[in-house]
Amino acid sequence: MDMPSRSPQRMLRILMPLVVFVVVAGIWEAVVRLREIPPYILPAPSLILETLVRDWALLFASLLATLRATLEGFLAAVVGGIGLALLFNRAKWVEDAFLPYAVILQVTPVIAIAPLLLVYLPQHLAVVACAWIVAFFPVLSNTLLGLKSVDRNLAGLFALYDASPAQKLWRLRLPSALPYIMGGLRIAGGLSLIGAVVAEIAAGSAGSGSGLAFRIAEAGYRLDIPRMFAALALLSAAGIVIYAGLSAASRVVLRRWHESALEGE
C-alpha cells in the first residue's frame, strides 16, 4: 500500500482543474474589461457571479424543479431499463420483438419529440418523459450487454450444480452485469438532465415553464445575458454533481472486487 504517494496524486487531480478554471476565468475577465465588451454581448465572470447571488432565490427554485424532473426520469429509466433487460435476457423472442423500438426511441432526436409531448402531456410529465427517453436506452443496452457477458466457465459450473434460474440470476448474471449497469447509470444520469433541459426549453418557447432551462430561454428573450450565464453555470454544476455522485456510488459498489475500482489501490 503506497498511501503517501497516492495522496499527492489525488490532490493534483483536484487542483489542476481548479487552476485551469481560475486561469480561464481570469483571462475572460481581463478581456471583457480591457475591450470594454458590453454585458449584453459577453458578461464578465464577476458580473455572472453577482447575478447568481442577486437572483439566487429564483434560480435555485428553478434548479430544484429541473432536478426533480431529472430524478424522476432517471429513476423511471433505471427501473424500466433494468427490468426490460432482464425480460429480454429471459425471452429472446421478446428482445427480437421490442429491441428495435427501443433503438428507434433512442435515435429519434429528443428536441423533435419534446414539442409533441407537450401537446399531449402536462408540462411536468412531458419534461419527465423527455428525461426518461434519453436515459432509458443506455441503461437497457448496458444491462443487457452485462447479462450476456457472463463467464462461460462460471455458467458451466452453475449448470453442473443444477442451479435454479433464480440462483443463476441473483448469484451469477446480476453480479457479472453490475459493472456494466453502473456504467450505464453514469451515462444515463447526465443524459436525463439533458432531456429535461430540452423539454424545458421547448416549454419556454411556448411561454410556460418553471425550470432552469426556462429561465435561460426567458433571459434570452429579455437579452439578460448575465442571468443566462448564471443559470447555465448552475446547470453545469448540477451535471457535475450528478456524474460525481454516480461515479462515487459505482466505486462503492464495485470496490474490493472489480478491476475498474481496484485500479490504483
pLDDT tens, position by position, 194-214? 999 998 888 766 556 678 888
Torsion 63-68-69-73 (CA) sign: positive
**What cell was used for 180?**
456494466
CA–CA distance from 2 to each of 7, 8, 9 (Å)?
9, 11, 11
Nearest to 135 by CA among 189, 202, 80: 189
pLDDT tens string 246-258: 988 888 888 776 6
pTM value is: 0.85
> How many percent of the chain have pLDDT more than 70?
92
Report how far residue 176's alpha carbon sits from residue 169's, in angstroms, rounded to the nearest whole number. Answer: 10
Report how far residue 121's alpha carbon sits from residue 134's, in angstroms, rounded to the nearest whole number. Answer: 17
